[in-house]
Chain A
Amino acid sequence: MPAIADAIILKNGAKTFQQDEDSPTYVLKGVDLTIEKGQFYILLGPSGCGKSTLLNIIAGFLELSEGNLEIVTSNTNRDGRGFVFQSADSALFPWLTVEENIAFGLKMKKVPTEERKKIAEHYIKLTGLTGHAKKFPDNLSGGMKQRVQLARVLANEPEILLMDEPFGALDAMTRRSMQNELIRIWRETNKTIIFVTHDIQEAIILGQKIGIMSVGPSSKITTTYDVKLSYPRDLTTAEFNDCYRRVQAHFEDYGI
């Protein structure tokens, strides 16, 4: 029995890709992960370490080759998990307006039009998209598109948010404001968040707990690091820098 406070428990998880018949290649091997309900968890690692693969497994998009994954949500269907993709352009539906994109999941669940509109409106407001409801995604900036993606996922009221480097393609300033927005939204909605990034600064700005992954193949979470700073985090303080140095040191330990 999992503890009530746990949302995601992965034990000894592994993912292989069959290259030839005899020797499967391990992308992930021996991954242990426990994430508490309402926690902001960061998966941090260099490019190609399999952190996106791990996130896709938790999302249910990929199957585990070995090990055991438990997702604890009050609704057992896939709706318990919402996924924010790295590229809004490839994830959003360009033929739907912002409002229609956000209401997509509700429409699929046959929620009545009136209610759909109300919920969409709520999340448009929450994500700061007021005034953009009738626009098409192609007419929005990169940051705005990611807001739409976030609102679209939130509208389905998932308990767990899975985010795959969602701010990676944004410019530094937009990125900072999106990070602040995400923290605000997280605190207002009490979601469990797993956020994938390769940026140490971003990890420390956002996360309560940072899972540091080793380089692949056969990568796993080598260390978890608790960030004890209070929100909103000021990246100019000595404490922040201290954190940064320590996380950086973990990477140096593993020769990355």
Chain B
Amino acid sequence: MTTIKVEAANTKTTVIEKKKKVNRFLKSGVLGWVVILVVWQIASLFSEEMFLPSPYATFKGMIEIASDGTLFVYMGYSFARVLAGWSLGLLIAVPVGLLIGTNTWIRTILEPVINFVRFIPPLAFITLFMLWFGIGEQSKVFLIVYATFFVITINTLTGVLSISKDKLLSARSMGATKFQTLLHVVIPAAVPYIFTGAKLAMGSSFMAIIGAEMVAANEGIGFMIWNARLYFKTDWIFVGLVVLGLMGFLMDRLFTYGGRKFLARYKVVS
């Protein structure tokens, strides 16, 4: 009797172990990639390489551009522009969001304007920005600043407006000045919203930079994609797409990790 019981328990644990392993595999998200690669490969079999290059052809193309370092230089350019524009955008948008959120007058004046301008996509401004800021790095960075600004401002504003009145009143009744309340209550309470805004703005940044690099740049992933059409190098376009996704993915992961590590008490990542 006793032996049977032990055996039963053992079988049960191995089953659970197996289930756990399957679960871990599913959760890792590898399956999705495998499916995409298979579908892509099959689709490419029915097509020409110039029309739809296979995953392998894309990989070869990647080796081709990477071997002389061009790919990495282009990635560096695009990434540096995104990082510069996004950081600058964050630096400007957060204080503006706090100001609009805490000041009813400013909010009344600016909210309609913001809700008008935010629907104008960054790409519509490319020519104007080049005219105003030149064809160098400035116009591209400013374009990203523009692309990030509204997302982060509106998120910050939402964060400020969603603070419970009780928190503000209790801070006041415990002797906090207006500035102290901003610093110790309003900003901490808005951190999760700012964080989400910053994450969303990353996507807009990549959108803006690729557009700008296609129109006016001699380097960068956008330039590479646009340039590939001249040589019918469809595989390079695919390399560009993959690299863009990868860069965004890594940036997002890094940012999320940082948030989890340093902003845990603000519950930025649920």
Contacts and interface: CB of A to CB of B under 8 A. Distances in A.
Interface residues of B, number: 22
Interface in B97-118: none
Interface in B163-184: 164-167, 169-177, 180, 184
Contacts of A96: 265
Given A94-B267, A95-B188, A95-B265, A79 B170 contact: no
A147 interface: no
Interface of A: 59-61, 77-79, 81-83, 85, 87, 90-91, 93-96, 104-105, 107-109, 136, 152-153, 156
Contacts, number: 66
B173 A82 contact: yes
B265 A152 contact: no
Interface of B: 164-167, 169-177, 180, 184-185, 188-189, 191, 265-267
A152 B188 CA distance: 18
A77 B173 contact: no
A108 B177 contact: yes
Given A61-B173, A81-B173, A82-B174, 11 more contacts: A78-B173, A79-B174, A83-B169, A87-B166, A91-B166, A93-B185, A93-B189, A108-B174, A108-B180, A136-B265, A153-B174
A93 B188 contact: yes
B170 to A, nearest CB: 5
A135 to B, nearest CB: 12
A109 B184 CA distance: 13
Contacts of A91: 164, 166-167, 170
Contacts of A87: 166
B171 to A, nearest CB: 7
Contact of B169 (A61, A107, A109, A156): A61
Contacts of B175: 77-79, 105, 108-109, 156
10 contacts: A78-B175, A79-B174, A87-B166, A91-B170, A104-B176, A108-B174, A108-B180, A108-B184, A152-B174, A153-B174
Contacts of A79: 173-175
Contact of B166 (A78, A81, A85): A85
A220 B146 CA distance: 56
A121 to B, nearest CB: 18
A156 B166 contact: no
Contacts of A95: 188-189, 191, 265-267
Nearest to A80: B173
Contacts of B173: 59-61, 78-79, 81-83, 153
Contacts of B188: 93, 95
A120 B37 CA distance: 59
A152 B171 CA distance: 11
Contact of A85 (B170, B185, B266): B170
Contacts of B191: 95
Nearest to A138: B267
